[in-house]
Amino acid sequence: MSLVKTPLIGLKADSFRHTLDLEATKTLKQIPGLDMMVRNLLGPMAEQVFYVENIASSILVGEKQLPHLHKLLLEACQILDVDPPQLYVRQHPAPNAYTFAMRGKQPFVVIHTSLIDILTPEEIQAVIAHELGHLKCDHSVYLTPVNLLILAAAIVPNVGTILAQAIQSQLLEWVRCAEFTCDRAALLATQDPKVVMSVLMKLAGGSPTLAPQLNLEAFVAQAHAYDDISKTELGEMVKSARTAQLTHPVPVLRAREIDRWASSTEYQNLLQNQGLKSGSATLSNGGWRNW
């Protein structure tokens, strides 16, 4: 039996945005010309590159193509109050998903087949909802350079390396903070912290063979052990150096953050208040049901 979920009609991005995301965004906005560079210079090029890549090398999900994934997308969009983007499935050995939206064009989400292979349907929806969080929070301006780096590195490795070395540290810091916000979007859509943390656990060490054998409680304990490293100056220094060039926070840190937020009054009040706004409607088994 599927979990009965509360649709969050009228949900505002700032109601779940992580404080680190807010602070990092303020820092980015102080970089002169960054917004203009992305929208007017990188944007048009990125649109064409990503469009060609998706049409040529990915599968567009719809009612007649992988309808079970299409259903997960629509349900997550209804819960988060987001217009449905296009969803593509791409053959790729590295478990990953990403989002692109620029200049008023049709936004889209891409999920790699290797990620789908290790996840349950509920976990796939958590991934989709995480990507919807980027759209809900209008992260596209600053995500574009990062996604260009990922794509460039895959197509022309040397170019990707050069670009990665040139990207500003503030941008990487912002991206890591934005991921915390979008993990919250995943939780709001699935309304089950274990589902979101399980995705992170499988990203850390999952495979089609190992994924069913992983122990979530042990992974959560591992996440709390990661905190203990910061108790010494050397440990904190090593952690900072380890994450400085990453585009995502490490999985154990993301799991710890979602575990904390799921237990917070902020999260509980958000579900309760939005549920009242939506007339106490619930969503179950893919359809609306009003009590």
State the pLDDT at residue 201.
96
Q: Is the dihedral of CA 110, 112, 113, 115 positive or negative?
A: negative
- Show which residues are catalytic: 131
Q: Which residues of the chain have pLDDT under 50?
A: 1, 160, 163, 166, 244, 280-282, 284-291
State the pLDDT at residue 106.
76
Q: Using the 8-state DSSP alphabet, how is residue 2 labeled?
A: P
Overall pTM surpassing 0.85 (yes/no) = no
* Strand intervals (E) in 128-277: none
State the pLDDT at residue 288.
31
Q: What angle do CA 152, 154, 156 make, to 5 degrees?
A: 60
State the pLDDT at residue 177.
81
Rounded to the nearest 10 degrees, the angle between the axes of helix 157-166 and helix 140-155 is 140
Q: What angle do CA 65, 67, 72 make, to 5 degrees?
A: 135
